[in-house]
Amino acid sequence: MQKSSYRHFEKYTHGKTGCTILDIGTGTGEYIKFIAKNNHYILTDIDSKSLKKAENRARKYLKNGSWDVKVGDASSVVATEKVDIISCLHAISSLYNPNEFVSLALDSLNQGGELLIYIGYPSKKKVSIFYSFLMRIFKLKPVNIEKILYSFKFSQEKISLFNYCYTVRK
């Protein structure tokens, strides 16, 4: 499901150089081999072990670019940066307060910068049941992410059967 998002992000960053790109929820950095190489990336996640793997991928694939690694939650990391692009590939639905995150992210963008939020929708009923189960276990309230994004005037682009990219420019 996420490969179409990676490919879309690759097309989006293709030809861009000298940008500072903040990635929220990098995880192990599976997508790093797909992205434009001549930029500065800030790779973030709350899981330091996953970020170690992402850092190894960055060493391998970002030889012409540079990167930093920051462990922390999305809102605290985004509040400390000024960047050209913020990518949030399939991570917004796991944030405690997505509304706060979007506000902070927009404040962190340089003039003309863009915030890209990728959302994938489960394609199978069993996956939906699993997500509902996790929501109950962790006592999370379902949040209408689309409603939040539309309130900030994001545009929506369908990039595959179950993946969407929401974009807003500062």
Residue 141 scores a pLDDT above 70: no
Q: What is the pLDDT of residue 1?
A: 47
Digit-coded pLDDT (tens) for 7-65: 888 888 888 889 999 999 999 998 898 888 889 999 999 999 999 999 999 999 988 78
Q: What is the pLDDT of residue 113?
A: 95
Distance, CA of 116 to CA of 111 (rounded, Å): 15
Mean pLDDT of 112-122: 85
Q: Which DSSP category does 97 fall into?
A: -
- Span of 10-19, 86-95, 120-129 with lowest mean pLDDT: 120-129
Structural domains counted in the chain: 1
List the domain range (segments joined by +) for residue 57: 3-169
User: Domain containing 59 — which CATH number?
Assistant: 3.40.50.150
Digit-coded pLDDT (tens) for 49-81: 999 999 999 999 988 789 999 999 999 999 999
The answer to whether the beta carbons of residues 40 and 67 sit under 8 Å apart is: yes
